[in-house]
Chains A and B, each alone.
Chain A
Amino acid sequence: DAKTTQPPSMDCAEGRAANLPCNHSTISGNEYVYWYRQIHSQGPQYIIHGLKNNETNEMASLIITEDRKSSTLILPHATLRDTAVYYCIVRAPFRNTDKLIFGTGTRLQVFP
């Protein structure tokens, strides 16, 4: 089962920051938080990941709370092309590898 909880949908005005929350209250100490997005008719696309420190890359910022039970993905200046389903995932070690278990995600609609 997915170990994350996300709101089913959010809206954001173009040019504004989009803040997508995620709850992962049962996360273990060695599990990473990953964010992916899926634009219609495409495969999921990697955005960013983190363990306990805040992270930033060219696409987004990831803020992880100190207790690691929740995180927020920030798209600083949303554009219409950011309209997609965003998945927050806990990447868990599994046997000698790991696995990604997707939840239902948040459908972000960016409007003009």
Chain B
Amino acid sequence: EAGVAQSPRYKIIEKRQSVAFWCNPISGHATLYWYQQILGQGPKLLIQFQNNGVVDDSQLPKDRFSAERLKGVDSTLKIQPAKLEDSAVYLCASSPSLAGGEPRHGYTFGSGTRLTVV
């Protein structure tokens, strides 16, 4: 099966500019996650979608970050305006598991988008 696709692979922008990342999850996966990974740290969950609805966005800096998953498939994550501290790798993951039962599958991650804010 095809993996989780993310684009672009790399992006360099100046502070105060805006940027958008795109994710195409594995076909049929109901749950989609965006993580932020700062150099030397583990991935931090930003937002979680179940189909096209937001399940958890408690860690998303909503004054500058936004995300959507129209039609419950692809998703975009936007930053506007960017700050220097937003420099990180942004990872998208998807999972087929729903409530209850054994989660037979792990999450599948994309390769990420490396954002550098200068």
Contacts and interface: CB of A to CB of B under 8 A. Distances in A.
Interface residues of B, number: 30
A20 to B, nearest CB: 15
Contact of A43 (B31, B55, B103, B110): B110
Contacts of A104: 41-42
Contacts of B4: 43
Nearest to B107: A100
Given A44-B43, A49-B103, A94-B55, A99 B48 contact: yes
Interface of B: 4, 30-31, 33, 35, 41-45, 48, 50, 55-56, 91, 93, 97-100, 102-103, 105-112
Given A45-B109, A96-B99, 18 more contacts: A32-B102, A34-B106, A43-B4, A43-B111, A43-B112, A44-B109, A87-B42, A91-B103, A95-B55, A96-B98, A97-B30, A97-B50, A97-B98, A98-B103, A99-B33, A99-B56, A100-B45, A102-B42
